[in-house]
Amino acid sequence: MERKFITYFEKQGNDYTNELIKAVSDKLESSKNIKRVLIASATGASALKLYEAVDDDIEIINVTHHMGFSGENQPDISDEMVEELENVGIKTYFGAHAFSGAARGVTNKYGGFSPLDVVADTLRMFSHGIKVAAEISIMAADAGLIPVGEDIIAIGGRGHGVDSAVILTPVNAKDLFNLKFHEIIAMPKD
């Protein structure tokens, strides 16, 4: 048996980035087997803060919104930030969201819902950031940026900054229901 602690934030979506990164940094110090951290950072700012707080031997991958998320043919992250992240060894991934992607286009036009909407809403019952953490792990695995079957930390949030972090074992999208959550490091209570 092990006793572990979870950091709880008051509200979902508030910017708890600094506190969350501290909790992740503490977890990395006590979990020597984790070598990769995924972070959902639309602008890259949270990914850069994470880099400044963790050891150099931790691989960080930033997962940003797909092109066109906020505006047609437009990224949410600047070319300058992508370059700054690359200069410190952080890869940035742009890709369709695993739980919406093209299915969102169908539901936007015809209504109804996709089975992936049910998966996403179920994970949102914990927090939006927990849903995002699972989603980016699938996206990164499908892109070949992280190996499946190896525990990682995945960080997500809602809006600005991040508020949720988990240790999970990622899978490819075709194996969605084999994704395993091992620990919640931090999440909002509300």
Low-confidence ranges of the chain (pLDDT < 70): 14, 67-71
Q: Are 69 and 76 in contact (CB under 8 A)?
A: yes
Partners of 40 in beta bridges: 63
Beta carbons within 8 Å of 149's beta carbon, 6+ residues apart: 169, 170, 171
| Closest among 185, 189, 160 to 17, alpha carbons compared | 160
Q: What is the pLDDT of residue 162?
A: 94
pLDDT at residue 34, as a whole number: 96
High-pLDDT (> 90) share of the chain, %: 67
Q: What pLDDT is stored for residue 74 in this prediction?
A: 78
- The pLDDT tens digits for 125-174 are 999 999 999 999 999 999 999 999 999 999 999 877 899 999 999 999 99
The pLDDT score that the predictor gives to residue 61 is 97
Closest CA to 61 of 9, 2, 136: 136
* The pair of three-digit structure tokens given for residue 61, joined into one six-digit string: 């991958």
Residue 153 Cα to chain centre, angstroms: 9
Please tell me the predicted confidence (pLDDT) of residue 68.
Answer: 59
pLDDT of residue 158: 87
- The pLDDT, as a whole number, for residue 67 is 65
